[in-house]
Amino acid sequence: MRFPDRLFLAGLLATIGLPLQALAGAESVREDIVSRLRERFPAVSPAEFAHGAAAFDPGRRAMAEERTPAPGAAEALEAGRRIWTRKFANGRSLAGCFPNGGRRVAAAYPQYDRRLKRLVSLETAVNQCLKTHGQPLLDAGDPETMGVVLAYLRSLSDGRKVAVRVNTPQAEERFEEGRRLYYTRMGQRNYACASCHLRHAGDYYRGAAIPAPVGAAAQWPHLRDGRAITLQMRIRECLERMGAAPFPAGSDDLAHLEFFLAYLSNGLAIRANAWRPPLVPGDL
């Protein structure tokens, strides 16, 4: 075999081999976490983990069921629908930027965009659309705007199963970055996300059961006091209460964390706008 042919073959093998290796990486991480949780909680199914603290706390579960639909859900959905369908000056709308007006799209987000060379979360996709049409962007940390838009958009995928793909080396790198952040100790209290949510899932922290990482990306936004709290907003709150400077709203760091969590939730049904209780001082 001549040198250029060998080079071609090596390149081909690398191209074929890397995604397979990459897939094995994310999937093996997911399987390991799922199996550890199954070992600790044989009576709790992965689908139940999506209920957060309520998966471990029958009292909390009963409260959540009594509050279904969550107080304020109808108002949040209507506010989100208005922004979603509002016509821009050019006659387009947010709904026009997404296939089927946004129906059944949420399950595949976040996703790696080869052209942009970055992860695109639903927040990013909404703001990309607004930017394209010369509209002011939404604050990814604001429940009144981005929160309600995603409350509406995610509700269009209610019941669909999370199906986030880590199918290229680039996507694998982002998954790995999300995993790294999840396991990194941060802030004055020196916690990593994994310190509580993985090692102590199901334990009680200041009176509340700690949710598991599997399922964390299935049920969001939450409705808390009628406000739509996205997964990224919730992560920022948690970081702040850990004594860490939260990653900026809409940042790549938050998208990486969300990507990691969303992949762990693959196969679990999306449920937007479930009730969650108010945060109390000292809780995370």
Partner 1 sequence: MRRRARLLAAAAALVATTAWGQPGEGLEIFTRPDKGNCVACHEVPAGSGPAIRATVGPRLDGARLKTWDRARLRALLVDPMIANPDTVMPPYGRHRLLAPQEIERLIDYLHALP
| Residue whose pair of structure tokens reads 């595949």 in the numeric block | 108
Give the count of residues interacting with partner 1 (CB under 8 A). Answer: 18
What is the smallest separation between the CB atom of 199 and partner 1, expressed in angstroms? 7
Residue 195 found at the interface with partner 1 (CB under 8 A):
yes
- For partner 1, the binding residue among 140, 186, 196, 244 (CB under 8 A) is 196
Residue 175 found at the interface with partner 1 (CB under 8 A):
no
Question: Please, which residues have CB within 8 angstroms of residue 196's CB and are 6 or more apart in sequence?
Answer: 205, 210, 284
The answer to whether 110 touches 178, Cβ cutoff 8 Å, is no
> Taking CB under 8 A as the rule, which mask of x and - marks residues 204-223 in contact with partner 1?
xxxx--x-------------
Stretch that binds partner 1, among 92-100, 107-115, 193-201, 270-278 (CB under 8 A): 193-201
- The DSSP code sequence of the chain is --HHHHHHHHHHHHHHHHHHHHHHHHHHHHHHHHHHHHHH-TTS-HHHHTTGGGGT-HHHHHHHHHT-SPTTHHHHHHHHHHHHH---TTS--TGGGSGGGGTT-GGG-SEEETTTTEEE-HHHHHHHHHHHTTPPPPPTT-IIIIIHHHHHHHHTTTTPBP-----SHHHHHHHHHHHHHHTS-BTTTTB-HHHHHTTTTTSEETTEEPPPSTTTTTS-SEEETTEEE-HHHHHHHHHHHTT-PPPPTT-HHHHHHHHHHHHHTTTSBP--SEE-PPP-TT--
Query: Taking the CA of residue 227 as centre, how many other CA atoms within 13 Å lie in the half-sphere pointing to its CB?
Result: 15
Residue 63 found at the interface with partner 1 (CB under 8 A):
no
Residue 244 found at the interface with partner 1 (CB under 8 A):
no
- Per the annotation, the verdict on 97 as an active-site residue is no
Residue 278 found at the interface with partner 1 (CB under 8 A):
no
Stretch that binds partner 1, among 29-37, 81-89, 143-151, 186-194 (CB under 8 A): 186-194
> Taking CB under 8 A as the rule, which mask of x and - marks residues 132-171 in contact with partner 1?
----------------------------------------
What is the smallest separation between the CB atom of 192 and partner 1, expressed in angstroms? 8
What is the smallest separation between the CB atom of 185 and partner 1, expressed in angstroms? 9
Stretch that binds partner 1, among 118-126, 166-174, 259-267, 276-284 (CB under 8 A): 276-284
What is the smallest separation between the CB atom of 209 and partner 1, expressed in angstroms? 9
Residue 58 found at the interface with partner 1 (CB under 8 A):
no
**3-class SS letters over 169-205:** HHHHHHHHHHHHHHCCCECCCCECHHHHHCCCCCCEE
- For partner 1, the binding residue among 109, 152, 191, 260 (CB under 8 A) is 191
Residue 61 found at the interface with partner 1 (CB under 8 A):
no
What is the smallest separation between the CB atom of 179 and partner 1, expressed in angstroms? 18
What is the smallest separation between the CB atom of 194 and partner 1, expressed in angstroms? 10
- Residues acting as catalytic residues: 238
For partner 1, the binding residues (CB under 8 A) are 188-191, 195-196, 199-200, 203-207, 210, 243, 281-283
